[in-house]
Amino acid sequence: MIQAVIFDLDGVLVTTDDSHYEAWKRMADEEGICFNRQINQRLRGVSRMESLEIILERANKSYTEDEKNALAARKNSYYVALIQHLTPSALLPGALETVNALRKQGIKIAIGSSSKNAPTILRQVGIADLFDAVADGNQIKHSKPAPDVFLLAAELLRIPPANCLVVEDADAGVESGLNAGMKVLAVGAASYNQKAHLRADALTDIDLMAWIRTQA
Ligand code: BG6
Ligand code: MG
């Protein structure tokens, strides 16, 4: 029986996945490193430093640890500038409706995001107070596909992992939810992922509450 739903943030509830791409693209262009939307698929759900390592696979020089830290900081400064003007219009279709429908039925809801910027984004788009728990990149050591962030969210909610449903737009996030022993709904960019228990192009295409009832 599903007692809690844990949402990824970027690309599931808000459009910030695109801002991550734009910020990395600017940094990669400045460094003369080939980067495009196809490579970006591998960055979804993955931590900042691991994302950088993936981008640097195409670099034709090697970077020291200090240089890598500077590149990641530069990308983050571009990203922070992009998200500082976020408003509720950045919420993806169906996000607010889904969250509110679950809350109304007494389902616990949480955020499970790899991003260290998650608290800022939640505040900016005005949904910070809707969640019973927030687990994000500031609190975990191992990023998705490790199960850490979702296990932490379940622990904060005090709900057993087997009774949680994860909503993800990243293959790494689908893997993370499965590794945590949770049910997984894959949406958006991950909607073709056959490992997930459930798939939908967008949150508007699925009645989560109806599906949860079938699991009882
Ligand atoms: C995830 C995004 O939510 O957060 C990744 O899907 C991103 O693209 C990761 O790299 C880390 O984000 P941040 O904000 O800590 O750099
Ligand atoms: Mg995501």
Q: Which of 32, 51, 83 is the last residue of a domain?
A: 83
- Residue 8 a catalytic site member: yes
Q: What is the pLDDT of residue 138?
A: 97
Same domain as 141, residue 60: no
Using left for φ > 0, alpha for ψ between -120 and 50, and beta otherwise, residue 32 falls in left
Range of 65's domain? 17-83
CATH at 10: 3.40.50.1000
Residues 6+ apart with CB under 8 A from 123: none
Q: What is the pLDDT of residue 216?
A: 80
Q: What is the pLDDT of residue 166?
A: 98
pTM of the full structure = 0.96
Q: What are phi and psi of 6, to 5 degrees?
A: -110, 115
Which protein residues are within 6 Å of ligand 1, measured from CB? 9-10, 17, 20, 43-48, 51, 76, 113-117, 137, 170
Q: How far is the CA of 46 from the centre of ligand 1 (A)?
A: 6
- Residue 10 a catalytic site member: yes
Residue 189 contacts residue 170 (beta carbons within 8 Å): yes
Same domain as 190, residue 117: yes
Same domain as 97, residue 26: no
Please write the tens of the pLDDT for every residue from 60-92: 999 999 999 999 999 999 999 999 989 999 999
With a cut of 50, list the residues of the chain below it in pLDDT.
none
